[in-house]
Amino acid sequence: MALLLWGGAHAQTASAPADTEVQPIPTLSGRVIDQTGDTLSTEQQQALSRQLAEVEVQTGSQMVILLVKRTAPEDIAAYAWRVADAWKIGRRDVGDGVLIVVARDDRRVRIEVAKALEGAIPDLAARQIIDQVIRPAFRSGQYAQGLQATVEALRKRLHGEVPPPGAPTARDDGEAIDGVFLLFVVAMMAVAGGQVLSSIMGRTGASWVSGAVAPMALHRLDASWWVMVLGALVAFAVVRLRLADRGTSLHANPSGSRSSPIVTGGWGGGSSSDSGGSFDSFSSGGGGDFGGGGASGDW
């Protein structure tokens, strides 16, 4: 079946008129190039250019927006790659460029991502930006607003403000800190309660009961499952080891006197800062090795 499909596509290509010419590549004259003539006003182009300049200052990556009427006879993906390859957007030593192509009359859009940025802007992320940001705005005729929101979404990706799939979010970090605190409380309660339980049911019984009670108490505090599991293990281990350590001395000392444990702990933190600058002119960085990364869509 794959061979048949390839053969059909090859036959269509071979039957196309030999004199069909592709769209010419525009001159790279700025960060925003509107070849449609009336999609973006001068003020809107200037605002987008300033926004793109700020992105370059913050991330070092170059981003260019190109608006054309159509890309026929090429698909927008082929056209965008050809333009990006010719313009060499991105720093020469890094190759970090992004090209946004809007084919207004075709109602097609393409986010072309250089190889160096495919980790920060994977194909799925580019597709989501098209579906969730560009399409709603363009359908209502808000081209400038849609492009501004798209640039901001890409900036967050380039600046590392959007976590990759599977990365811990702020909520996950908070839950982890709460979990550590709850485990600390469980350990302290096990130390105190284990002594009482051991006098009733012995060291082994006290260990098992502590391990069973700890997750039930944590469940009532809405702890996550992993905190409850660790809580059971911590309570069991603390009581078991604590009483084993104290057993000999307690039997050797009729008065039952014992010293209190000293528990210390601490937390550390860090800080980060970034700085910005100004950018007054634009030219291609001479990098931008594009390998077809990104996504296409319509509206």
Q: Residue 289's pLDDT is what?
A: 79
Residue 41's pLDDT is: 96
Banded pLDDT at 8 (limits 50, 70, 90)? very low
| pLDDT for res 282 | 63
pLDDT at 234: 74
Please check the confidence at residue 260 and state whether its pLDDT lies above 50.
no
Higher pLDDT, 279 or 209: 209
Question: What is the average per-residue pLDDT within 129-153?
Answer: 96
The CATH number of domain 26-165+286-298 is 3.30.365.10 = no
- Cα 203 to chain centroid distance, Å, stands at 49
pLDDT tens digits along 215-251: 677 666 666 666 677 767 776 777 667 656 554 444 4
Tokens 């594009």, located at residue: 290
pLDDT at 291: 85
Residues 6+ apart with CB under 8 A from 172: none
At 288 the pLDDT is: 65
What are the counts of helices (DSSP H) followed by strands (DSSP E) for the chain?
A: 8, 5
Domain ranges of the chain: 26-165+286-298, 170-252
Q: Which pair of tokens denotes residue 290?
A: 């594009």
Tell me the C-alpha distance between 8 and 51, whole Å: 45
For 283-299, how does the pLDDT look when each residue is reduced to its tens digit (9 = 90+)? 666 766 788 899 999 99
Q: Mean pLDDT across the stretch 52-56?
A: 94
- For position 222, what pLDDT does the model report? 61
Q: Give the pLDDT band of residue 1 (cuts 50, 70, 90).
A: very low
Average confidence (pLDDT) over 59-76: 95
Q: Which comes out higher in pLDDT, residue 111 or 15?
A: 111
pTM here? 0.57
